Every structure is written in structure tokens, then in C-alpha cells.
């Protein structure tokens, strides 16, 4: 990974020192390629690229949220992220998402990450899951959330909810 961090010189100097101690064996070729690309693009080219990536993720996020609304209303809760490539969802009626996600969901080719994996205590139950909308095709997102809805309804029936 390569980052661009404009800012006051004292802050950048501290960031460089931290990076030098935290990032071991960063590829010199990758750094040279990124440097050459940024030199060629300039600030305007970089801003245009960032804008196009933001637009792409916004479009994918909006599609994910529309599919979630269609399939998961009443089965899960979520908030629209303002940035990034993930949606966090709380699965209603599910005490711990890990068993559902690592078992039936995986069997149905619905790939989500149990919220417990991001907890300071991964053994503690979590009703949350993290879903990524960064690379999945639009039709795959719709189908995955449809399948998740079926699984959540089955879970409710099995647990008398």
C-alpha cells in the first residue's frame, strides 16, 4: 500500500518516522511506480482519480443499500456509510452471527465477516456482520442479500422468533 499525505512539515516528518519503523520491506518498485504516476498526474490528476474512485464506491454503496432495503428490511439494521467499502449490519434475532456466517451462509455462498472478528474479545457473541460492496458485481450483491434474507427467516423459524 502506498499513501499520499499532504500536511504541515512537522506532522509529515513524524509520519515518515512512524512509517519507517512500522512498514518493513515496502517494495521499492511499487513506491517508484506510485511516485512516477503521481508526478505524471500532478495534483489535478490525483484529485480526478480520487473523485472517480469515490463515485464508483458511492454507486456500489447505493446499489448495496437498495438491495438491503429490498431484501433485509425487518431482518437486519444498518446505517449508510459515508465512506469506505463496507456496510455493518446487525442481524435481528441473531445473538451471534459467527455460527450463521461460518455455516449456512458460507454453504449458500454468502460471504460476510462476523462482527466478533473485529472485537477486542473475539469469543464474545456479536449480532453484527461486515459486508463488502467493493468488488462484487451488482447482480451478485442482490442475490447474496436475497439468500441472506432466506437464511435469516429460516433462523427465526428454527429459534421460534
Bridge partners for 88 per DSSP: 130
- Which pLDDT score is estimated for 72? 98
Name which of 101, 99, 92 is nearest 68 in CA terms.
92
- Which pLDDT score is estimated for 161? 61
- Which pLDDT score is estimated for 18? 83
- Name the stretches of the chain with pLDDT < 70: 1-2, 160-161
d(Cα 95, Cα 52) in Å, to the nearest integer? 39
What is the dotted CATH code of the domain comprising 55-158? 3.90.1150.10
d(Cα 101, Cα 117) in Å, to the nearest integer? 12
Residue 159, C-alpha cell as written in the block: 429459534
Amino acid at each position: 500500500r502506498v499513501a499520499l499525505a499532504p500536511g504541515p512539515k512537522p506532522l509529515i516528518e513524524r509520519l515518515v518516522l512512524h512509517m519507517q519503523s512500522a512498514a518493513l520491506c515496502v517494495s521499492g518498485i511499487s513506491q517508484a511506480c506510485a511516485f512516477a504516476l503521481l508526478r505524471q498526474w500532478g495534483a489535478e490528476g490525483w484529485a480526478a482519480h480520487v473523485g472517480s474512485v469515490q463515485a464508483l464506491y458511492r454507486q456500489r454503496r447505493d446499489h448495496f443499500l437498495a438491495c438491503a432495503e429490498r431484501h433485509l428490511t425487518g431482518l437486519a439494521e444498518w446505517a449508510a456509510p459515508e465512506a469506505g467499502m463496507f456496510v455493518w449490519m446487525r442481524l435481528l434475532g441473531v445473538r451471534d452471527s459467527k455460527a450463521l456466517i461460518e455455516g449456512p451462509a458460507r454453504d449458500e455462498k454468502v460471504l460476510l465477516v462476523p462482527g466478533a472478528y473485529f472485537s477486542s474479545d473475539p469469543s464474545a457473541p456479536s449480532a453484527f456482520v461486515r459486508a463488502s460492496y467493493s468488488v462484487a458485481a451488482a447482480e451478485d450483491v442482490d442475490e447474496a442479500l436475497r439468500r441472506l434474507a432466506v437464511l435469516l427467516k429460516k433462523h427465526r423459524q428454527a429459534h421460534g422468533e
